[in-house]
Every structure is written in C-alpha cells, then in structure tokens.
Amino acid sequence: MKSLYDFTYDQMGDMALEQGWKKFRAHQIFQWLYRKRAVSIDDMSDLSKDTRETLKQQFSLTPLKLRDKQVASDGTTKYLFALEDGSLIESVLMQFDYGKSICVTSQVGCNMACAFCASGLTKKKRNLTSGEMVAQVLYVQRDLDKQEDRLSHIVVMGTGEPFDNYEHVMNFLSTVNHDRGLGIGARHITISTCGVVPKIYEFAKEHTQYNLAISLHAPNNELRDRLMPVNRAYPLEELMEAIQYYARENNRRLTFEYILLRGVNDQKEHVAQLAKLLKGLNAYVNLIPYNAVDENGFQGVDHAHAMVFYDALMKQGVRCTIRKEHGADIDAACGQLRVKHLKKEQEGSRS
C-alpha cells in the first residue's frame, strides 16, 4: 500500500485535487505528518471522519518497524528496521558538535559491489520508496522529540547507491527539506555517490543546494577498477569530467571520500595522484577510517599513518579532514548490523 510519506508537498496537493478536495487539505495533512508528527491517520483531528476514512482505505502510515537498536558509548545509535515486505534496513544517528545527523539507507542491499563494503555482500533486492526513507528520518526524529532535540543534518550514505534510485531519493529530500515538512536545510543534506556519471550530470542540472560527496577511494583507474566495479563503467576521466561540469554549474564545495586501506591506497604515490586529480577543484578530501568487515580481508590504517597521509596531501595543496570514528563499539560499518541479522535468519531457517 502506498504510504502518505511517499508524497512530496506538491504531490500531496495533486492527490488532494484528485480526491476532489481543496488543496488546503493536503497542506493540513502534510503538517500533521511532519509538524505534529501524527502516528495515525485518526490523529488528524481537524479532518472530517469521512476524509480520514478515505485516507485510511488508500494509504498506510507505518512503512517500518523497529527490530533492533544499538547505542554506542559515544551516543551513536544504530536502528534496524523491517519494512512492510520484511526487508531489513539500517539507519544511524550520529552526534556531532554542530548537531545531530542521520545516515539514511536508500536501497535494500546494493549492486555496486565495492570490494571493501559490507552492503555489497548482499545484492540489491529493491529500491526504497521515498516514503520509506522519510519514515527512517521521522522515526529517529520522534526518538529525539522525547529529549526536545532535533535532527539538523541528513546524509544519504547508508546501504545503497542513491543515484541508482534517483527519483525516490530526490522526492524524499524534497519532503524532509520542505519548510512545511521537517525543514532540514538543503545545505545540511549530503548525497554520497560511488560515481554514477549520468546521474551526476542530471543532479548538476537541478541546481539544488544539497551537498554532493563522491566516494573516490582510489586515485587511478587500475586500483579503482579493483575496489569499485562502477569504475569499469565510468572510469576516472569520465567521472572527473562530470564533476567539473557539476562544479561549473553549482557553486558548491565538493567532498571526496577516501577510505584509507592499509597497503592498498595509502602510499606516497597515491598522494601525488590524488593531488593531480583534484587540482583546481573547490573540494576537500575526507579521509575515512576503515570499519573492518570480517568477510573481505581489507585493513584500515592507524591514526599515525592517517596523519602522515593527511600531512602529505595538505603539503600538495589538497584540503582534507580525517573523519572521526563513530560507534566503534557497535556494528557501525555500513550494512554490518543488517548482514548480521540476515545471517541469523538464515541460520534460523536452516536449523
């Protein structure tokens, strides 16, 4: 069943007109969902009983159920949700000095098959609907409501490739960004892509204020082909051309994500290659500590080595930061909690 969370503000207006209602009713519903955070359609007390019945017959309000929740000592909270079809997804709440951020899942599983990533261990089952992404944010926001706190940032960096589910992701962001929705500022929203080049062009043309992050992880094609199969379809030359285009169209600073993998992409030559690749771009590199995934044998680097890499990059004129680790004492790596539960389920069905 379609969820009321699937509608952007404009789509809600069209829906109201289709039902033969005034547009204002859509405005009311939207406010109930996002301002008053109604948990059922019956909560919407200024709608007539007939209207509520009509809504209930056509739309649901509960696209997800909590299955597990882990809280780390630094406050990082991992939520495992079951969707209506039983699929499992994760969302993560992270605490920063500047506010609270949620990491949202965009697909059930992922087809990008990056060699170092836990999400790639399970193939994509389907795209999430926009409502299923909205519901992740609302669930976590409701938890924060209890402490009179609010989410200030969103990163679309959970399981899945957002640019492989472009339309739903853009609709989702429109809803959470809308000032009648959750009102989370576009500049506080980041979409991370592994480099689906045609969608980078499409995104560039939309001129939104959302931040774009590119998962780079390797500064040459040979290595990137090995780590990220998407590079075989869209090699670095094409990716960088798309990024140059984005940069010309949008006056926004770009982020490049770079996981430091011991002995793989952390050598001097990689510093030089990175510097050459990013020259002249309004960008910075976010060096990411690797969350080891048992299955695939990669290892991270220690902090001292990360600092050496950082210093060398800065010396070459590349701005960079080292990402702080979050939730080190829980299953915080992308897709880890989900994979653990899937394994448990499989073992359960075998025994």
Query: Would you list which residues are annotated within the binding site for S-adenosyl-L-methionine?
Result: 160-161, 192, 215-217, 291
Could you tell me the CA-to-CA distances from 182 to 72, 76, 189, 271 in Å, in that order? 26, 21, 12, 40
Selection from 30, 60, 65, 343 nearest residue 176 by Cα: 30
How many contiguous H segments (helices) and E segments (strands) does the chain have? 12, 12
Do strands 99-103 and 153-156 pair parallel, antiparallel, or not at all (unpaired)? Answer: parallel
Selection from 182, 97, 73, 99 nearest residue 136 by Cα: 182
Q: How many residues belong to the site for ligand SAH (CB under 6 A)?
A: 20
Contacts of 121 (CB under 8 A, 6+ apart): 293, 295, 335, 339
Query: Which parts of 323-342 interact with ligand SAH (CB under 6 A)?
Result: 333-334
Stretch that binds ligand SAH, among 42-50, 142-150, 175-183, 186-194 (CB under 6 A): 186-194
CB of 115 to ligand SAH, least distance (A): 10
Could you tell me the CA-to-CA distances from 150 to 73, 78, 94, 147, 154 in Å, in that order? 20, 17, 12, 9, 11
Query: Which parts of 99-118 interact with ligand SAH (CB under 6 A)?
Result: 112, 114, 116-118
CB of 285 to ligand SAH, least distance (A): 12
343: which strand partners?
none
Looking at the Cβ atoms of 119 and 174, the one nearer to ligand SAH is 119
Task: Please identify which residue in 94, 291, 306, 309 interacts with ligand SAH, judged by CB under 6 A.
Answer: 291
Task: Please identify which residue in 290, 309, 331, 339 interacts with ligand SAH, judged by CB under 6 A.
Answer: 290
Is 194 a binding residue for ligand SAH by CB under 6 A? The answer is yes
Task: Return the structure tokens found at 99.
Answer: 């506010």
CB of 145 to ligand SAH, least distance (A): 27
What does the alpha-carbon distance between residue 97 and residue 138 come to, in Å, rounded to a whole number? Answer: 22
Stretch that binds ligand SAH, among 37-45, 68-76, 121-129, 188-196 (CB under 6 A): 188-196
**What type of residue is 288?**
I
Stretch that binds ligand SAH, among 24-32, 189-197, 199-207, 342-350 (CB under 6 A): 189-197
CB of 196 to ligand SAH, least distance (A): 9
Selection from 158, 195, 187 nearest residue 338 by Cα: 158
Would you name the residues annotated as active-site residues? 90, 334
Looking at the Cβ atoms of 16 and 154, the one nearer to ligand SAH is 154
CB of 161 to ligand SAH, least distance (A): 4
Task: Please identify which residue in 33, 41, 151, 157 interacts with ligand SAH, judged by CB under 6 A.
Answer: 157
Query: Which stretches does DSSP call E strand in the chain?
Result: 64-71, 77-83, 88-96, 99-103, 107-108, 126-127, 153-156, 189-193, 211-215, 254-259, 283-288, 320-322
Query: Which parts of 246-265 interact with ligand SAH (CB under 6 A)?
Result: 257, 259
- Contacting residues toward ligand SAH, per CB under 6 A: 112, 114, 116-118, 157, 161, 192-194, 215, 217, 257, 259, 288, 290-291, 293, 333-334
